[in-house]
Amino acid sequence: METTSEENQEQSLERKGCFECCIKCLGGVPYASLVATILCFSGVALFCGCGHVALTGTITILENHFSKIPADHAMLTDVIQLLQYVIYGLASFFFLYGIILLAEGFYTTSAVKELHSEFKTTICGRCISGMFVFLTYVLGVAWLGVFGFSAVPVFLFYNMWSTCAAMRSPTANLTDLDSICVDVRQYGIIPWSATPGKACGSTLGDICNTSEFYLSYHLFIVACAGAGATVIALLIYMMATTYNFAVLKFKSREDCCTKF
């Protein structure tokens, strides 16, 4: 009986030790950086993947319905191809940057400092943390511009879609459908010399019913939402990196005070 009692006590102590260890491990997780990383990866993946396919569909729509001569939209094609290459670079950069910020979050978490009593900061570490704060702020401002830019094609496609919906509406009393047109030349997408440059009446309705238009329109919406999610993730990163820098700075002052 005594042996059984001792074994039970040992097992309870082991369970208590495991529980305390798990609590410390869970407390050492930088949840803000973790949420921001997941949100950043998801937003960048949506923006890059959907934006790439939507840009390809846009070129197809322009070539088939608005600009029959390749020379008229050659510059636009080059710009879209350049944007697609930029998308590849953005995806790779933010994948690495998110992992680095997550690693920094783990390093500067207060629970990690409690686990490692000899936690010390250096001038190099504080400089790197400050650099992350500055770079994250710059990326946040830049992505605000990307978010605004990604809303432009959504606006253009929405104008087209709403015009087609108005023509199909049973309450609309339209005697001359050919008088309703969408001219993409006025948006500066293609030059004014491009032919036909605009679509009217039933031709416009046929364009709105194509799979390229339907897919590109919804992919641009998802890409815009992905850009918005990335902006939110960078805002969370801003708060997390600023807090991490403050922790390192406070720890360095604490170390200096203990020396004297």
DSSP 15-52: HHHHHHHHHHHHHTS-HHHHHHHHHHHHHHHHHHHHHH
Question: What's the pLDDT at 71?
Answer: 78
Asked if residue 6 is part of any domain, the answer here is no
Q: What percent of the chain has pLDDT over 70?
A: 72
Asked if residue 129 is part of any domain, the answer here is yes
pLDDT tens column, 117-164 = 445 555 666 677 778 888 888 888 888 998 998 999 999 899 888 888
What residue numbers bound the domain in which 161 lies?
35-114+121-259
Structural domains of the chain, count: 1
Q: What are phi and psi of 68, to 5 degrees?
A: -80, -25
Asked if residue 160 is part of any domain, the answer here is yes
Asked if residue 28 is part of any domain, the answer here is no
Question: What's the pLDDT at 122?
Answer: 57
Of 114 and 130, the structure prediction assigns the larger pLDDT to 130
Asked if residue 3 is part of any domain, the answer here is no
Asked if residue 255 is part of any domain, the answer here is yes
Whether 182 has a pLDDT exceeding 80, the answer reads yes
pLDDT tens column, 73-100 = 788 888 888 888 888 888 888 888 888 8
Q: What percent of the chain has pLDDT over 90?
A: 12
Asked if residue 53 is part of any domain, the answer here is yes
At residue 112 the predicted structure's pLDDT band, cuts being 50, 70 and 90, is very low
- Mean pLDDT score across all residues of the chain: 77
At residue 229 the predicted structure's pLDDT band, cuts being 50, 70 and 90, is very high
**Dihedral (CA of 155, 160, 163, 165) sign:** negative
Whether 166 has a pLDDT exceeding 70, the answer reads yes
Of 196 and 259, the structure prediction assigns the larger pLDDT to 196
Asked if residue 17 is part of any domain, the answer here is no
